[in-house]
């Protein structure tokens, strides 16, 4: 591919050239400095693999990965492969039980392992070309780390690897790239315009990733959705060396393992805790982590609800299905539906958008009509230029030129970059990240209104506080921003307060909720059962850039007259039959054909 690009005049290669610096002016990349001269450019794509963090630092950006050792030996010549034509004829064997693989390569059998201890390297400690015999990525082999893996391989293939005629012809500690969450690092860096990352790419992903990023850079959208690998996803604490080293060390042995989709990380926990954390611990909260936040997924103190609801709780019979889950989640769901529940939502990402042109700016970015009365809150999608769903979130209008955006914590940094990328250059609109300054509690259920009315003089009746409105009210000892919306389908409010007042809010709601048998409710309900019962979608699950509003059932009866990103594509999608339709299925009987 490289040779073809060179022949077409589309690529210039400068082998043996050292990059000495990357110049940035007014937040945008301007040139690359090398020992052979400077290159003026508006775009730099860092594809330096394990060296990528060093290159990014030259521009004041971060590419959060760690080089890690992966051991491999080459055994041969194998008699079985003597007549093999070509490098590869036999299938690769993946031994999931031992975190290893065996693959034929010419007359040899290669044995690789991810079962040894994590051996991480600092990018600054990688040997130079002059210090390396073959390649800086091939380090001296540490036999003691591989002995057990070799025993497993001999047990699996005794006739091939145990043949007296074969021997170990090559053995290395090879370096590869690991990231804190195991996903690649793609896209424009949030720190520097025009500086793109294509890092932590494994060979099997390379062709598809190359096409994805090329489309992304040239048209603003790619055929496949790169959101889960967007380098903008990381918060600042996730770019620290403590986080990078802790998570990559923990994740190394999971590279070839079977990882449960709900499995939680052990390393670098309790980085972000809400003001309610100690109260939640006292209630037996089982914490799951999102974007560094410790969020209760369910509460062991709600175990008595299992007896109250009996068979309605629907326990899971299979061990795999029941991992990282509890029937208490379903019981909390029923308790909130029957009475009232309170949910810690402090992991929300919160942004203020203000300025004389704030309304015009949001009209451009958001799909729905944003020219709403002060005190309204509305759900909206954000689209990419092709009409794919870039984000979904809520916006409150707090003043004529003042709006507040609330979005999911896991999506917060990607969404912030999208908003920042489309700000007017004249400074007429300001974007302020308030995430660490506000704590949020959701109060929902048929008794939510009675509970709130008991601690406020404000009118929270349906007439006095309609759905889709927000305003500041006194709740017990605190002044709170109450927003009457619901992601769980029940009557209620999201209640936002300054972070330092969060504990007072929790205590006030908890005490006032006792006559109503209030239940602390975890994210297991809020993020799964509650929203699904109401058929609400979630970004990263049902919603992504590969789907549009028509396909996902989010198209509204009318389209606003103002222009917005993705409008042209959206109008075309509305006029054509959808390729697919997202719908909710309900079961009259959840028993499978096998009787379970």
What are 401-440's pLDDT values in tens digits? Answer: 999 999 999 999 999 999 999 999 999 999 999 999 999 9
**pLDDT tens by residue, 293-349:** 999 999 999 999 999 999 999 889 889 999 999 999 999 999 999 999 999 999 999
Closest by Cα among 260, 315, 246, 318 to 288: 260
**Tokens matching residue 308:** 């109250």
Domain boundary residue among 192, 213, 234? 234
Q: What CATH number is attached to the domain comprising 116?
A: 3.30.9.10
DSSP per-residue letters across 521-562? E-HHIIIIIHHHHTT---BTTTB-TTS-TTTTT---SS--SS
130, pLDDT greater than 80: no
6, pLDDT greater than 70: yes
Closest by Cα among 381, 410, 467, 478 to 439: 478
Can you tell me the distance from the alpha carbon of 137 to that of 123, in angstroms, rounded to the nearest whole number?
11
**Residue 13 counted as domain residue:** yes
Active-site residues, by number, are 70, 101, 392
Q: Are 73 and 171 in contact (CB under 8 A)?
A: yes
360, pLDDT greater than 90: yes
Quick one: pLDDT at residue 369?
A: 98
* 43 and 165 part of one domain: no
Quick one: pLDDT at residue 581?
A: 95
Domain range for 23 is 1-64+182-234
596, pLDDT greater than 70: no
What's the Cα-to-Cα distance from 319 to each of 232, 258, 301, 324, 330, rounded to whole Å? 36, 14, 23, 10, 17
pLDDT category, 388, cuts 50, 70, 90?
Answer: very high
128, pLDDT greater than 90: no
Q: Are 492 and 483 in contact (CB under 8 A)?
A: no
589, pLDDT greater than 90: no
**Residue 277 counted as domain residue:** no
Domain boundary residue among 192, 207, 234? 234
Judged by DSSP in three states, 37 sits in strand
Helix%, strand%, coil% for the chain, nearest 5: 30, 25, 45
CA of residue 135 relative to chain centroid, distance: 34
* 466 and 393 part of one domain: yes
**Residue 219 counted as domain residue:** yes
* 427 and 510 part of one domain: yes
Q: Is the dihedral of CA 576, 577, 578, 583 positive or negative?
A: positive
Quick one: pLDDT at residue 587?
A: 85
**Tokens matching residue 578:** 């959808």
pTM: 0.95
Domain boundary residue among 515, 547, 568? 515
Calculate the dihedral angle through the C-alpha atoms of 120, 125, 131, 136, rounding to the nearest 10 degrees: 40
């Amino acid at each position: 591919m490289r040779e073809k690009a060179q022949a077409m005049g589309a690529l210039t290669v400068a082998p043996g050239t050292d990059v000495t610096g990357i110049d940035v002016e007014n937040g945008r990349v301007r040139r690359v400095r090398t020992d052979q001269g400077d290159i003026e450019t508006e775009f730099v794509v860092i594809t330096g693999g394990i060296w990528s963090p060093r290159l990014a630092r030259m521009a004041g950006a971060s590419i959060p990965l760690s080089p890690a050792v992966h051991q491999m030996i080459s055994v041969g010549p194998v008699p079985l492969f003597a007549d093999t034509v070509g490098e590869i004829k036999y299938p690769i064997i993946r031994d999931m039980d031992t975190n290893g693989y065996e693959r034929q390569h010419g007359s040899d059998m290669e044995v690789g392992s991810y079962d040894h201890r994590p051996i991480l390297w600092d990018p600054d400690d990688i040997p130079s070309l002059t210090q390396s015999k073959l390649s800086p990525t091939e380090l001296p082999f540490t036999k003691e780390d591989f002995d057990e893996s070799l025993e497993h391989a001999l047990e699996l293939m005794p006739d091939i690897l145990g043949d007296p005629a074969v021997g170990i012809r090559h053995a290395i500690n090879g370096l590869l790239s690991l990231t804190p969450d195991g996903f690649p690092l793609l896209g424009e860096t949030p720190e520097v315009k025009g500086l793109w990352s294509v890092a932590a790419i494994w060979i099997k992903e390379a062709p598809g990733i190359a096409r994805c990023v090329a489309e992304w850079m040239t048209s603003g959208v790619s055929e496949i959705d790169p959101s889960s690998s967007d380098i903008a996803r990381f918060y600042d604490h996730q770019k620290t060396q403590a986080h990078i080293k802790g998570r990559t060390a923990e994740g190394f042995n999971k590279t070839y393992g079977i990882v449960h989709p709900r499995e939680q990380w052990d390393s670098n926990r309790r980085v972000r805790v809400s003001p309610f954390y100690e109260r939640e611990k006292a209630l037996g909260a089982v914490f799951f982590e999102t974007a560094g936040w410790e969020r209760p997924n369910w509460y062991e103190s709600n175990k008595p609800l299992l007896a109250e609801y009996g068979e309605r709780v629907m326990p899971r019979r299979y061990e795999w299905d029941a991992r990282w889950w509890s029937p208490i989640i379903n019981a909390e769901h029923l308790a909130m539906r029957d009475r009232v529940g309170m949910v810690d939502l402090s992991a929300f990402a919160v942004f203020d958008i203000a300025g004389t042109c704030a309304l015009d700016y949001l009209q451009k970015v958001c799909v729905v009509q944003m020219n709403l009365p002060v005190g309204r809150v509305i759900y909206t999608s954000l689209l990419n230029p092709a009409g794919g769903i870039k984000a979904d979130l809520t916006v409150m209008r707090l003043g004529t030129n003042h709006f507040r955006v609330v979005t999911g914590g896991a999506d917060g940094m990607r969404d912030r970059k999208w908003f920042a990328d489309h700000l007017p250059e004249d400074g007429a609109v300001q974007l302020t990240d308030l995430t660490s300054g506000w704590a949020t509690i959701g109060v929902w259920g048929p008794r939510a209104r009675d509970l709130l009315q008991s601690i406020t003089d404000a009118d929270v009746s349906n007439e006095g506080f309609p759905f889709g409105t927000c305003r500041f009210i006194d709740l017990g000892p605190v002044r709170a921003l109450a927003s009457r919306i619901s992601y769980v389908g029940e009557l209620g409010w999201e209640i936002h307060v300054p972070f330092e007042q969060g504990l007072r809010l929790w205590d006030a709601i908890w005490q006032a909720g006792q006559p109503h048998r209030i239940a602390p409710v975890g994210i297991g309900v809020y993020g799964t059962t509650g929203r699904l019962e109401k058929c609400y979608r979630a970004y990263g699950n049902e919603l992504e850039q590969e789907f549009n509003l028509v396909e996902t059932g989010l198209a509204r009866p009318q389209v606003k007259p103002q222009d917005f990103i993705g409008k042209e594509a959206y109008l075309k999608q509305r006029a054509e039959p959808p390729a697919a339709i997202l719908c909710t299925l309900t079961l009259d009987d959840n028993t499978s054909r096998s009787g379970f």
